[in-house]
Structure 1
Amino acid sequence: MEEPAVHPAESTLVEPKGAPAAGSTTALLEQEIAAFFAKLKYLPESDIKALEAAYRFSEVAHEGQYRKSGEPYVSHPLAVASILADWHLDPQVLTAALLHDVVEDTAVTKDELQELFGKSVAELVDGLSKLEQIEFQSHEEAQAENFRKMLLAMARDIRIILIKIADRLHNMRTLDVMRPEKQRRIARETMDIYAPIANRIGLNAVYQDLQDLSFRFLHPNRYQVLSKAVKAARGNRRQLIDKILAAIQQKLNNAKLAATVAGREKNLFSIYKKMQEKHLTFSEVLDIYGFRVVVEDEPTCYLTLGVLHSLYKPIPGKFKDYIAIPKANGYQSLHTTLFGPYGTPIEVQIRTREMHRTAEDGIASHWMYKSTDGTLNDAQQRTHKWLQRLLDIQSESGDAAEFLEHIKVDLFPDEVYVFTPKGRILALPQGATAIDFAYAVHTDIGTHCVAARINYELMPLRTRLRSGDRVEVVTDPAAFPNPSWLSFVSTGKARSHIRHYLKTMQFSESVALGESLLEQALDVLAPQREALPEVIWDKYLKDIGVKSKEEVLTDIGLGKKLSMVVARALLKLSGVVMAEQQQIPAIQLRGWESSALHYGKCCYPLPGDKIVGLVTKGQGLVVHVADCPAVTQSDVNPENLVEIDWDPPSGKTYEAGLDVIAVNDRGVLAQVASVISDHNANIVNVQLEEFEQRPNFTFIRFLLQVQSRAQLEDIMRNLNVMQVVETIRRRKL
């Protein structure tokens, strides 16, 4: 499948019909066809014949279409199918790969495919087909929507992502013919999305391939320089590598351990990343080579580890046991770093043959879809759980871009492994917090969490977790997500659930406030009116192009629409004669601050103050003291002002600013704070500032929590009689 175009006019790798093919194209294509069918020896003869028919169908469908390289277009689906054949995938996947562009780029329909090749193949091809050529607002929006469609299709059938990754791998291998700016765009998308997905489902070799190819097109000069340096080092270090290989093999032979030992060169991008992260020159990167030991069974892995540690000393803190605790993508190996000859660090991976297959080809190495007893293997179970999480996130994300933002977090490979109180292991992204852990255990636990015990100590929810931590979440049924959590959570699941809850709460609170404001406006304009019939609302909604009454009320509650304007329009449609402007009845404050009702930070209104509401766009109703400059200045629209009054005392606390000028002496702050505390007020924040002109005095700015204006005035009276206090005033801008 070629790169999605934002606009129909933007050409991809396909040339129009009739474009001339390169001279040697036919011979080259014949070689590729022969190579593909030579790989199919693992399939029955009947399946191979069916694949021959699928190839012929694809060839006819794409007849006259050429890639920008001059090759017949059919060479692309053939190459994708060939990559999948290397992974020994089932005939339906290979057939879908051969046909994956026929619905999109030719006149063939999904129904035709279903009739000729079966429902399974047709569904796979449909899942891979791009969106219709919609005029998106931006390429980013198009990319996000295409990616969301792909992931949701993938959740229905995991084989879709295997075809998609093979498709992207071939496109990256043939990207040279594209314009430089398009090369960079496709390479960036591959590095950000497709390489991490390949890693997430365990396709390690493909993951490294996609990284190196992306690196080559994103930073061509750096790629060339580093590539030459690695080739030069290959010759210079060959003798050392051979010496280490021979020593390892000899030591294992002496211990009578059957093993295959191989040296491996790290991929260019991982070397480049290490140079960047540790600020090293290439000559300072000593471990560009690693060693892999493949043995027969799991116990032999640990025996081999002991033998190697007796050959070369291990570097402390550089051992990881991914056999006991596998990575989320199913990867298993023992990793150790040793002091080699001349102090050279040696990275060694020890694994079984089965682990090696999984490490290289991930879930593809375990095909078919289910084992003979009908159960999913471990790697497939992990991938299935990941896909279920994607569906959960998708259901709560507002749009494609938000969905993409959420799941990008879960695609990156660094992980921490933590324990539940019952000993279950959870894998979370690097930087995950106690809140991420709570949501990973269960959505309800995340929603109601208030604290966490990490290694039996009570810790804040923002605490970042480390591998090996034992985490227990403390919950409270009355607790709910806080907007500040979004500043430190790491997982897409936690972020999407928090946002969903906050949006839902904002919606319900805004509807309630909008309803109160609209009722107030209607009472002013038509005090004797009857209830507005639904037919009037329906007509009004149709006139303004809005789907629901709740949407209008939300906009009023958030200050996006004026209640008076909406009230006049509704009354006009109903034919009610509007009265002369009368005294506006005050709305009773329910007291609790919410996403649609805020207390002004400029004047800190308290029960007992005369107050007024200012409808502010995007914030809803902001409560101010009546003489606050924010509501008395001349440019304030009178229709945005709302008469409000306090509810009877409810025991709620409100913030209040208090400024004190006191003698600059030892213990003064403690004396002032003690008086405040004696009056049952809480100090939220305190700041001290010195007077340059009056060095004997200090300026103390308090932010308090009190229940009323009367309580604050009582505090001020008691502070005012203190000898150390010179002046005191309530803070208002």
Structure 2
Amino acid sequence: MNLNDSHSSLESKPADTASVALTAMRSPVASISSASHINKHTSHLDDIDSVRASSANTGVASITALTNRISEYMSASELKLVKEAYRFSDEMHLGQVRKSGEPYISHPIAVAEICAEWKLDVQAIMAALLHDVMEDQDVKKDELIERFGAPVATLVDGLSKLEKIEFQSQIEAQAENFRKMLLAMARDVRVILVKLADRLHNMRTLDFMSAEKKRRISRETMDVYVPIAHRLGLNNIYRELQDLAFSHLYPMRYRTLSKAVKAARGNRREVVNKIMDAVKTALTEAGLKAEVYGREKTLYGIYRKMHDKHLSFSQVLDVYGFRIVVSDFRDSYYALGSLHALYKPMPGKFKDYIAIPKTNGYQSLHTTLIGPYGTPVEFQIRTRDMHHVAESGVAAHWLYKNEEGSLTDLQQRTHAWLQSLLDIQKQTGDSAEFLEHVKIDLFPDSVYVFTPKSKIIALPRGATALDFAYNIHTDIGDQAIATRINHEPVPLRSELKNGDIVEIITSPNSRPTPNWLTYVRTGKARSAIRHYLRTINLNESTELGKQLLAQALVSVNLNPDLPDSLIDKLLNESSAKSLDEIHTDIGIGKRMAALVARHILDLVEDDSPSIPFQQYGDKISNKRDPVIIYGSEGLSVQLAACCLPIPGDGIVGQLKRDQGLVVHTDDCEHAKRLHIKEPDRWIDVNWGEDLNRRFDCRIAVTVTNERGALARIAAEIGESDANISHVNMEDGDANDMTNIHFTIQIEDRTHLARIMRNIKHLNGVSRIVREHG
């Protein structure tokens, strides 16, 4: 996924044109033909619609479709501001074209038209027209403030990627740009509405890109923008983005399914008409005024159902879908009763999203009935207001301002989610981690549970009681010790189910542990736990980072004792407040010691290019001293659970983001696979002297399955001065032998060898091995 190529991958300077292929069947945006560039000296804004084309591109530039649409709900003064924004944007993009050869200005116009379909306000329409001028044409925010006011400039700034500053990796740059956009969205949801319009038009015009860029941009769309559209209830965009991304990710599958659906449509017409007529008659006889529509599945929806449920095409298409729109809330339930009287309902296939709306505000009754010829028929029943929200989501705030009262709940849900982004940001170490947490929270499937006071809480499917605790409040999560679900005591790791009543038991002495990260599901919980662990391990992480940086500086022939002038320059360029902050970042894996050392070397060479090392002392040996492991470093150094290294083993260290240093045995198969993926994150480590703790180790003993066998082995381990922390016995085999697995606490390999030798001599023991996995 490439978050850095969000929209400018489709845009370019004259040397690298980008594409536009406006498809009339998809949107009124298609009414824009080949747009031209405005003459810089045009002074009459009212004549903008008929400006001549530039010499490079013939054709007629027109924002007539846009102005016609926004004039339906904007005043003349607002319309004038939109035209002024158009003029400025056209001037800034003069000479810039897309890969189709069309003037670039056609893209901002198209984005503005999509926003106009939602009846977004004048500031959002202006931002849509101007959304690329800061990034592509180096227009400063101050200039936009002076010309168009602070609100418009802030929206445009939120839509622009960061200036081309140096990042440690391309992934970090992508994540940081995405974080900037999401935080701007949290403050003003119009940012993401314009961004989604921008992404939608780019996806509609992706045909001119290379196959590799199509896949990369489509994958990003599917991973990030589709879930955001769903989370905000923008179902029309959600479905179209899914299908467009699917068509570019899997073009052969898309074409095959498209042909199959067209062929099946004719065969289904008779059944569809029969159901439609029967439903309309039943509703009329019940005295209900309702609109009945056939509901087509999207191609991606068909593909995903076939893939996830291992169904054939005919099995998926055998389910018919209809939507019933009624006038008011009560009629929804009356219509449901009429349908259940007409066809028999399928058990377990009814969902009431009116009483308990989805997290994005969606409300409908869902029911599946057995229709004619025994075919399943799915119905969605909703009011007209619910239908507007279901299709337009949070954008309905602008679309249907007169009905704002009915959208209060949706707005509150959206505000709560956007506020959670700010909460996660405050506790998150860096942009990549922030993006990870947000993507977790974008999963559409939800589970609905209740507090003891009957308040409904929506969480992602798979969430645990600990997620629930953090959802209530960070302090509740940090101090959680137990939970009751449906009045029964259960562990905090227990997964929640729809309808559960959840109560959290807290203690002021309870604190988060690293193990909690293995069973929380929400971004908010993960970010809060990580924030706490980072805070308590600050000193340990700082010391580890200091050691790692010293080693990295030695490897590039620099003295680890840096002069103050060099430290000041490093802090200025790295945006860190102190050298200890850089050490801490290295210790928790946020920064790579090798990259920081390389940066310092560049600063040295810039100061004295002819004799770069002279003013900082002589070069020192290029010998890389290993990091010394004592086993008592705390959470900043962890012994890998996959291989459980012990003193005497050959070891290697992996610097893992936000987990510090993870130590593996040098023959660990898991470590070898990780090394191939991220070779730069591995460093040399050695055991220190005078180790003052015991280390976990796993052994497996094959023994005759007889009374007293376990007791004899356990006694021998105790007599060998070791402790048993865990034991597990398998069922016996046909030869009346069984395997017993022990986790024991020992001093080193010599101690382990003595224990294994003593156990081997016991009666009934046929085999003993050390387990690494």
Give me the TM-score of the superposition, normalised by structure 1: 0.76
Aligned to 1:684: 726
In structure 2, do the counterparts of structure 1 residues 7 and 197 end up closer, same or farther at CA, with 3 Å as the change threshold?
closer
Separation (CA, whole Å) in 2 of partners of 1:179 and 1:621: 41
Question: Cα distance, 1:273 vs. partner?
Answer: 0.8
SS in 2 for 1:446: helix
Q: 1:400 aligns with which of 418, 426, 431?
A: 431
Question: Cα distance, 1:408 vs. partner?
Answer: 1.0
Worse-superposed segment, 315-324 or 32-41:
32-41
> Is 1:666 matched with 2:670?
no
Aligned to 2:475: 444
Separation (CA, whole Å) in 2 of partners of 1:538 and 1:89: 53
Q: Counterpart of 1:131 in structure 2: which amino acid?
A: L
Worse-superposed segment, 293-302 or 112-121:
112-121
Aligned to 2:442: 411
User: Do 1:435 and 1:446's aligned partners in 2 also have CA atoms closer than 8 Å?
Assistant: yes
Aligned to 2:218: 187
> Is 1:295 matched with 2:295?
no
Separation (CA, whole Å) in 1 of partners of 2:703 and 2:189: 70
Aligned to 1:327: 358
Q: Percent identity?
A: 52
User: Do 2:158 and 2:185's aligned partners in 1 also have CA atoms closer than 8 Å?
Assistant: yes
Aligned to 2:418: 387
Question: Cα distance, 1:148 vs. partner?
Answer: 1.1
User: Do 2:319 and 2:377's aligned partners in 1 also have CA atoms closer than 8 Å?
Assistant: no
In structure 2, do the counterparts of structure 1 residues 20 and 427 end up closer, same or farther at CA, with 3 Å as the change threshold?
farther
User: Do 1:451 and 1:458's aligned partners in 2 also have CA atoms closer than 8 Å?
Assistant: yes
Question: Cα distance, 1:154 vs. partner?
Answer: 1.1
Show structure 2 runs of 5+ residues with no match. 21-35, 38-52, 549-560, 595-614, 618-627, 666-682
Separation (CA, whole Å) in 2 of partners of 1:33 and 1:510: 61
In structure 2, do the counterparts of structure 1 residues 181 and 19 end up closer, same or farther at CA, with 3 Å as the change threshold?
farther
SS in 2 for 1:236: helix
Q: Cα deviations across residues 141-177 of structure 1 (Å, max 9, x unaligned)? A: 3332221111111112111111111111111111112
Question: Cα distance, 1:109 vs. partner?
Answer: 3.8
Question: Cα distance, 1:255 vs. partner?
Answer: 0.5
Aligned to 2:89: 58
1:68-217 correspondence to structure 2 within 5 Å: 68-106=99-137, 108-134=139-165, 139-217=170-248
Separation (CA, whole Å) in 2 of partners of 1:292 and 1:85: 26
In structure 2, do the counterparts of structure 1 residues 473 and 299 end up closer, same or farther at CA, with 3 Å as the change threshold?
same
User: Do 2:447 and 2:496's aligned partners in 1 also have CA atoms closer than 8 Å?
Assistant: yes
> Is 1:424 matched with 2:455?
yes
Separation (CA, whole Å) in 2 of partners of 1:369 and 1:135: 44
In structure 2, do the counterparts of structure 1 residues 201 and 669 end up closer, same or farther at CA, with 3 Å as the change threshold?
same
SS in 2 for 1:416: strand
User: Do 1:291 and 1:349's aligned partners in 2 also have CA atoms closer than 8 Å?
Assistant: yes
Worse-superposed segment, 2-11 or 115-124:
2-11
Q: Cα deviations across residues 420-457 of structure 1 (Å, max 9, x unaligned)? A: 22211111112222222222122122223333322223
Separation (CA, whole Å) in 2 of partners of 1:258 and 1:289: 22
Q: Cα deviations across residues 590-615 of structure 1 (Å, max 9, x unaligned)? A: 9895444879997979xxxxx99x99
Separation (CA, whole Å) in 2 of partners of 1:168 and 1:226: 24
Question: Cα distance, 1:287 vs. partner?
Answer: 4.9
Separation (CA, whole Å) in 1 of partners of 2:565 and 2:56: 61
Separation (CA, whole Å) in 2 of partners of 1:267 and 1:621: 46
Question: Cα distance, 1:494 vs. partner?
Answer: 1.7
SS in 2 for 1:65: coil
Aligned to 1:485: 516
> Is 1:337 matched with 2:379?
no
Aligned to 2:311: 280
Worse-superposed segment, 293-302 or 62-71:
62-71
Q: Counterpart of 2:266 in structure 1: which amino acid?
A: G
User: Do 1:6 and 1:139's aligned partners in 2 also have CA atoms closer than 8 Å?
Assistant: no
In structure 2, do the counterparts of structure 1 residues 465 and 698 end up closer, same or farther at CA, with 3 Å as the change threshold?
closer
Question: Cα distance, 1:732 vs. partner?
Answer: 13
User: Do 2:19 and 2:206's aligned partners in 1 also have CA atoms closer than 8 Å?
Assistant: no
Separation (CA, whole Å) in 1 of partners of 2:371 and 2:127: 49
Show structure 1 runs of 5+ residues with no match. 518-534, 562-572, 576-586, 606-610, 625-636, 648-652
User: Do 2:353 and 2:364's aligned partners in 1 also have CA atoms closer than 8 Å?
Assistant: yes
In structure 2, do the counterparts of structure 1 residues 376 and 674 end up closer, same or farther at CA, with 3 Å as the change threshold?
farther
Question: Cα distance, 1:418 vs. partner?
Answer: 1.3
Q: Cα deviations across residues 466-511 of structure 1 (Å, max 9, x unaligned)? A: 2112222233333333323333322111222222233333333345
User: Do 2:19 and 2:100's aligned partners in 1 also have CA atoms closer than 8 Å?
Assistant: no
SS in 2 for 1:221: helix
In structure 2, do the counterparts of structure 1 residues 146 and 667 end up closer, same or farther at CA, with 3 Å as the change threshold?
same
Worse-superposed segment, 134-143 or 501-510:
134-143
Separation (CA, whole Å) in 2 of partners of 1:303 and 1:286: 28
In structure 2, do the counterparts of structure 1 residues 128 and 76 end up closer, same or farther at CA, with 3 Å as the change threshold?
same
Separation (CA, whole Å) in 1 of partners of 2:6 and 2:767: 71
Separation (CA, whole Å) in 2 of partners of 1:306 and 1:139: 56
In structure 2, do the counterparts of structure 1 residues 659 and 178 end up closer, same or farther at CA, with 3 Å as the change threshold?
closer
Aligned to 1:43: 74
Q: 2:261 aligns with which of 230, 242, 245?
A: 230
User: Do 1:2 and 1:171's aligned partners in 2 also have CA atoms closer than 8 Å?
Assistant: no
CA radius of gyration, larger in:
1
Q: Counterpart of 1:379 in structure 2: which amino acid?
A: L
Aligned to 2:7: 3
Q: Cα deviations across residues 248-292 of structure 1 (Å, max 9, x unaligned)? A: 111111010111111121111111111111222222213564211
Give me the TM-score of the superposition, normalised by structure 2: 0.73
In structure 2, do the counterparts of structure 1 residues 212 and 288 end up closer, same or farther at CA, with 3 Å as the change threshold?
farther
Aligned to 1:460: 491
User: Do 2:588 and 2:636's aligned partners in 1 also have CA atoms closer than 8 Å?
Assistant: no
User: Do 2:465 and 2:492's aligned partners in 1 also have CA atoms closer than 8 Å?
Assistant: yes
Separation (CA, whole Å) in 2 of partners of 1:339 and 1:111: 63
Separation (CA, whole Å) in 2 of partners of 1:333 and 1:236: 29
> Is 1:703 matched with 2:743?
yes
> Is 1:494 matched with 2:525?
yes
Separation (CA, whole Å) in 2 of partners of 1:8 and 1:61: 13
Aligned to 2:346: 315
1:482-561 correspondence to structure 2 within 5 Å: 482-511=513-542, 547-549=578-580
Aligned to 1:564: none
Aligned to 1:13: 18
SS in 2 for 1:301: helix
Q: Counterpart of 2:184 in structure 1: which amino acid?
A: A
Separation (CA, whole Å) in 2 of partners of 1:669 and 1:639: 37
Separation (CA, whole Å) in 1 of partners of 2:366 and 2:234: 19
Question: Cα distance, 1:104 vs. partner?
Answer: 2.8
In structure 2, do the counterparts of structure 1 residues 654 and 204 end up closer, same or farther at CA, with 3 Å as the change threshold?
same
SS in 1 for 2:72: helix
Aligned to 1:352: 383
SS in 2 for 1:423: coil
Q: Cα deviations across residues 603-647 of structure 1 (Å, max 9, x unaligned)? A: 979xxxxx99x997867799x9xxxxxxxxxxxx99966554769
Q: Counterpart of 1:669 in structure 2: which amino acid?
A: L
Separation (CA, whole Å) in 1 of partners of 2:188 and 2:409: 17
Question: Cα distance, 1:33 vs. partner?
Answer: 2.2
Aligned residues: 660
Q: Counterpart of 1:382 in structure 2: which amino acid?
A: R
Question: Cα distance, 1:228 vs. partner?
Answer: 1.5
In structure 2, do the counterparts of structure 1 residues 123 and 515 end up closer, same or farther at CA, with 3 Å as the change threshold?
closer
User: Do 1:417 and 1:467's aligned partners in 2 also have CA atoms closer than 8 Å?
Assistant: yes
Question: Cα distance, 1:324 vs. partner?
Answer: 0.8
Q: Counterpart of 1:218 in structure 2: which amino acid?
A: L
In structure 2, do the counterparts of structure 1 residues 191 and 654 end up closer, same or farther at CA, with 3 Å as the change threshold?
closer
Question: Cα distance, 1:111 vs. partner?
Answer: 3.0
In structure 2, do the counterparts of structure 1 residues 136 and 686 end up closer, same or farther at CA, with 3 Å as the change threshold?
same
Separation (CA, whole Å) in 1 of partners of 2:263 and 2:73: 40
Separation (CA, whole Å) in 1 of partners of 2:420 and 2:489: 29
